[in-house]
C-alpha cells in the first residue's frame, strides 16, 4: 500500500497535510526517513510520525462469519449475540460496525476503535456492502435498472442511493449498496414484489469475508484490511 494512503487512513490528516508531513521528512518507515508519498509499505512496516508509531496499539479489529440465528447486539437476555461467539477479553468494549438481521449470515466487523467504526458506518462515507441474495420468486431482469436508478422505500418515501445488482440466475443475485437503512435489502426486493429468502454479506468496502472462516468463527483483520477503511 502507498505510504500517503496508509497515513491518511490512521490519522485525521487530510491528503494534502499527509503529503506535506512526508515531504517535510517527518515520516519514517522501519527507521528510515521517507520523503516520497508513493513509497510502498508492507503489512509489517512500522510507520512513525515525528518518531511516534502511527497505529495506536490496543485497538482491535475483527471479522466474524455470522451464522443465522445469532443477533447483532452486544447483549441479549434470550438469544446468542455475535459478542458471545468471540472468545476475547473485554468483549463489552467492542462495537459492531454495521448490523445484520438475525437471519442474515456473513461478514460482521467488530472493533473498539470508534473512529474506524464511524468511517465504515457513517452515511457520509458511503461504504459499499456486498450481499448475495436468494429470492422466493424469479428476479425480474428490470430489477437491476430499477435499483440502479434508486427505488422508493416506504414508509420513509425516500429513494435509495443507486445500487448495483448483478443477476446470477432466476433466483440469485449479488447486490451492492452504499447505505445501511433498516432491512434495506429485504425492503428493496419487497418493493419489486419479490421476497428475500436468504441474505449473506460477502464484503464491506474492500474487506471480504475470509472463505476459510466457518460460520461462528472469527479472526483479527490484517493491517491491509484495517487500513483499507
Ligand atoms: N439488508 C437487510 O434487509 N438485512 C440485513 O441484514 C442487511 C441488509
pLDDT at res. 34 = 96
User: Going by CA atoms, what residue is nearest to atom 3 of ligand 1?
Assistant: 183
pLDDT along the chain (229 residues), means of 10: 87 86 93 94 82 75 97 92 87 91 98 90 93 98 98 90 98 97 96 97 98 96 91
Our mutation pick for probing the ligand 1 site, out of 127, 186, 201, counting the most ligand atoms within 8 A of Cβ, is 186
For residues 137 and 185, membership in a common domain is answered with yes
For residues 144 and 121, membership in a common domain is answered with no
For residues 119 and 64, membership in a common domain is answered with yes
For residues 94 and 113, membership in a common domain is answered with yes
pLDDT at res. 54 = 81
- Cα–ligand 1 centroid distance for 132 (angstroms): 11
- What whole-number distance in Å separates Cα of residue 139 and Cα of residue 202? 20
Distances (CA, A) of 100 to 38, 52, 72, 125: 37, 37, 6, 19
Our mutation pick for probing the ligand 1 site, out of 69, 73, 101, counting the most ligand atoms within 8 A of Cβ, is 101
Whether the bond between 155 and the residue before it is cis, its omega within 30 degrees of 0, is yes
29 in any annotated domain = yes
pLDDT at res. 185 = 98
pTM for the predicted model, two decimal places: 0.77
Catalytic residue list contains 101: yes
Phi, psi of 110 (to 5 degrees): -135, 145
How many folded domains does the chain comprise? 3
For residues 48 and 61, membership in a common domain is answered with no
For residues 20 and 67, membership in a common domain is answered with no
For residues 114 and 81, membership in a common domain is answered with yes
User: Which atom from ligand 1 is nearest to the alpha carbon of 180?
Assistant: 8
- Cα–ligand 1 centroid distance for 114 (angstroms): 22
> What is the CATH classification number for the domain harbouring 112?
3.30.70.580
Give residues with Cβ within 8 angstroms of 179, minimum separation 6: 123, 126, 160, 161
For residues 105 and 71, membership in a common domain is answered with yes
pLDDT at res. 174 = 98
87 in any annotated domain = yes
209 in any annotated domain = no
Q: Which domain holds residue 149?
A: 128-204
Burial class (CB in 10 A: 0-12, 13-18, 19+), 155: exposed
User: Which residues form the pocket of ligand 1, taking CB atoms under 6 Å from any ligand atom?
Assistant: 100-101, 104, 183-186, 199
Amino acid at each position: 500500500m502507498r505510504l500517503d494512503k496508509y497515513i491518511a487512513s490512521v490519522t485525521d490528516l487530510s491528503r494534502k497535510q499527509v503529503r506535506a508531513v512526508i515531504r517535510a521528512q517527518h515520516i519514517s518507515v522501519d527507521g528510515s526517513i521517507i520523503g516520497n508519498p508513493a513509497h510502498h509499505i508492507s503489512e509489517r512496516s512500522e510507520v512513525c510520525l515525528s518518531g511516534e508509531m502511527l497505529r495506536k496499539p490496543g485497538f482491535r479489529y475483527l471479522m466474524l462469519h455470522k451464522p443465522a440465528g445469532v443477533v447483532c447486539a452486544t447483549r441479549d437476555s434470550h438469544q446468542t449475540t455475535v459478542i458471545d461467539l468471540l472468545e476475547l477479553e473485554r468483549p463489552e468494549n467492542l462495537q459492531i460496525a454495521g448490523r445484520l438481521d438475525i437471519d442474515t449470515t456473513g461478514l460482521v466487523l467488530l472493533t473498539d476503535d470508534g473512529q474506524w467504526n464511524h468511517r465504515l458506518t457513517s452515511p457520509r462515507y458511503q461504504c459499499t456492502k456486498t450481499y448475495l441474495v436468494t429470492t422466493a420468486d424469479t428476479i425480474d431482469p428490470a430489477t437491476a435498472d430499477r435499483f440502479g436508478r434508486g427505488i422508493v422505500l416506504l414508509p420513509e418515501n425516500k429513494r435509495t442511493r443507486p445500487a448495483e445488482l448483478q443477476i446470477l440466475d432466476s433466483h440469485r443475485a449479488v447486490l451492492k449498496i452504499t447505505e445501511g437503512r433498516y432491512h434495506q435489502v429485504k425492503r428493496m426486493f419487497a418493493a419489486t414484489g419479490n421476497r428475500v429468502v436468504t441474505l449473506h454479506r460477502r464484503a464491506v468496502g474492500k474487506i471480504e469475508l475470509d472463505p476459510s472462516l466457518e460460520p461462528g468463527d472469527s479472526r483479527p483483520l490484517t493491517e491491509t484490511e484495517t487500513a483499507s477503511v
